[in-house]
Copies of this chain bind each other. A is one copy, B any other.
Amino acid sequence: MRIGVLGTGQVGHAIASKLASLGHEVKMGSRTSDNANAAEWVTSAGAGTSQGTFADAASFGELVFNCTAGGASIGALHAAGVENLAGKVLVDVANTLDFSQGRPPSLLITTKESLGEQIQEAFPETRVVKTLNTMNNEVMVDPSKVPGEHDVFLSGNDEDAKQTVRGLLESFGWPPASIIDLGDISTARGPELYLPLWLRLWGVAGGPHFNIKLVR
């Protein structure tokens, strides 16, 4: 599949590299067409990879990942272009972390909203699926980094879009039983507001290779 990955940070690198390793054609998008991080990634990732602006990547992709910093995501997606995202599945993995008051970061959202919902509202013709935001990027693309069973969540209004994302997650190594569909995009509040707990659990776990499992 042709996939656009918006964002050139650690999450964008991890997602884009995994997708490329699975044989997808991947264009990494950023504010400028000559972003140094993206150029470095294209050099290392090799055949089938390219870089461009947010609009280039969104236009290129049949499916698009939002890996930008959550506080900048709406702006980045507007730069990507409403028309370039219309009808497409947008996989939103971002968190609205606010480091302005130090660490641990707080969230820029309130307890009555989520970035996933904000994006869906701003881009009504795009099929937004929130997922993967509840773990470190290394775990996102290689769940075996955490031993044993643990879970990833899906939120979105479009069932077909969630099926597509479920398939991608399985190709990343996620067992079908570990992919938990929470419901429509409003349920993205759950995984997004979980981040403050995740940040403290990082300290307990002593590193990034941890996750949670629903036990029932």
Contacts and interface: CB of A to CB of B under 8 A. Distances in A.
Kindly name the residue among A111, A198, A209 whose own CB sees the greatest number of chain B CB atoms within 10 A. A111
Nearest to A198: B190
Q: How many copies does the complex hold?
A: 2
A4 interface: no
Given A210-B215, A214-B204, A190 B197 contact: yes
Interface in A191-216: 191, 193-201, 203-206, 209-216
Nearest to A108: B111
Given A183-B203, A200-B183, A203-B183, A148 B194 contact: no
A147 B9 CA distance: 40
Given A111-B193, A190-B196, 11 more contacts: A111-B111, A146-B216, A148-B215, A189-B196, A190-B197, A190-B201, A193-B193, A193-B195, A194-B197, A201-B214, A212-B212
Contacts of A44: none
Interface of A: 106-107, 109-112, 146-150, 153, 180-183, 187, 189-191, 193-201, 203-206, 209-216
A106 B190 CA distance: 10
Label chain A's interface by main secondary structure: mixed
B205 A214 contact: yes
Contact of A110 (B111, B190, B203, B204): B111
